[in-house]
Amino acid sequence: MRLLPVAATLSLAVAVAYYVYIPLPDAIQQPWKLMLLDAGFRATMHLASLKSWLGFDHYITSIRQSSEGFDGMMEGLLSSESGGGVMPGVKVSDVTFAGVPVRVYEPPAGGEGHLRRGLMFFHGGGWALGTAKKGPYDAINRMLSDELNAVVVSVEYRLYPEVHFPVPYLDCLAAAVHFLSPEVQARYAIDPDRVAVAGDSAGGNLAAAVAQEISTDETMRVKFSVQALIYPVLQALDFNTPSYLQNQHIPILHRHLMVRFWLQYLGADLSLLDQLLANNHSSLHHSNITPELRARLDWTALLAPKHKRSYRPLVVEKGSRGPAQELPGLLDVRASPLLAGPEVLAKCPRAYILTCEHDVLRDDGLMYARRLQDAGVSVTGDHYEDGFHGCFSFITWPMDFDVGKRAIRGYINWLQKNL
């Protein structure tokens, strides 16, 4: 009878190990830490889906509740590590810009009479999760404000399921136009020639789209001078790029999850997921996807050989018409900035684009960097061979990764020299 508890314990341990363990590339440091992080995220999603199925909460609401608890814990750790506050000299205020909630970080007093840098930041989270008011985002923005002597504005744009595209984009654009107005620039003593827009993941998508719109708006007196995109998501026509296939099971952004985020953002039925994974939504059958448009995300021409490897493009001859009809936002450059024409890209500000080797979105960033360069825009590419999606946010013990700390330092250093 004593063997039963031992057997049960061993069975549980094996089950947990089976759930946690996933094979990871040798280049990724601290693999077990990443496995545990991914297991926790997957468990949160599974539990949220179960609660939704039982009729308790929308699964995104459940994930947010869990994330808020985690962010609260991280905020406490950050506070204790810094002796009671992260960059205590930075003034933080929660206000609204054109009706959109924002958090403003102002550097410590001093240097009166001198104009400061300005930076607008859009957080990631698949257009459904996240807030820049807590956790690593808050810490990074405080650090930026302090080290760069910059007024940093983090935008709390509306999220799925409350809204769909183009509402998050329109929120970000409205906040950006307000931020760039001469009145606001004067109020915060910002140098109009030194203003950046930045974002990570879905926030990188919004930053790129907003930068394009502002750059081509002839009515704007002040425009962004630089854009900093952290592993941005930039297109939804090809989910079979080399990076999508190579990294489809790599934490923390699996291929099917990114496609799900896209469907949610575009307000589509999640049952279309398999068709998007098979590229049926972008088949040659769809005459509105012209050869010129396809060339703008032709990774066979835009990627270096080391990233193309032996992969072959998946171009479907005849796919279903359903996804294209149900997803009108697929070809909207406000949702997919990579689809913008060269005449638009040529007007964009110089760019910093961070990509990670072990990230499904790697090729989105690399292709955008190449297209910007081809349009005559100065681009700095910062590629991390040991990086994975989300590493930029993992800087605090116990979920700290060396690559995340290096990524943040590289981002800040580039802004220091180029903004």
Q: What is the pLDDT of residues 270-279, one digit of tens each?
A: 999 999 999 9
Known active-site residue 201? yes
Beta bridge partners of 100: 97
Q: What is the pLDDT of residues 339-359, one digit of tens each?
A: 999 999 999 999 999 999 999
Domain locations along the chain: 30-419
Known active-site residue 164? no
E strands, 39-122, are 91-97, 100-106, 116-122
Catalytic residue (choose from 146, 171, 359, 382): 359
- The pLDDT value given to residue 254: 96
Predicted model pTM: 0.93
In this predicted structure, the answer to whether residue 224 has a pLDDT above a threshold of 60 is: yes
Known active-site residue 363? no
In this predicted structure, the answer to whether residue 55 has a pLDDT above a threshold of 90 is: no
Catalytic residue (choose from 201, 225, 283, 336): 201
Q: What is the pLDDT of residues 148-194, one digit of tens each?
A: 999 999 999 999 999 999 999 999 999 999 999 999 999 999 999 99
In this predicted structure, the answer to whether residue 8 has a pLDDT above a threshold of 70 is: no
Contacts of 414 (CB under 8 A, 6+ apart): 228, 352, 380, 382
Q: How many CA atoms lie within 13 A of 90 on its CB side?
A: 25
- DSSP codes, 365-398: HHHHHHHHHHTT--EEEEEEEEEETTGGG--STT
- The pLDDT value given to residue 17: 65
Peptide bond connecting 252 to the previous residue in cis, omega within 30 degrees of 0: yes
- The pLDDT value given to residue 115: 94
Per-residue tokens: 84: 């009671």
Q: What is the pLDDT of residues 84-141, one digit of tens each?
A: 445 678 999 999 999 999 999 999 875 556 899 999 999 999 999 999 898 899 999 9
- Alpha-carbon torsion 261, 266, 271, 272, what sign? negative
- The pLDDT value given to residue 114: 85
In this predicted structure, the answer to whether residue 362 has a pLDDT above a threshold of 70 is: yes
- The pLDDT value given to residue 338: 98
Catalytic residue (choose from 145, 363, 389, 393): 389
Per-residue CA distances from 23 to 18, 27, 86, 389 (Å)? 11, 12, 36, 16
Into which CATH architecture does domain 30-419 fall?
Answer: 3-Layer(aba) Sandwich (3.40)
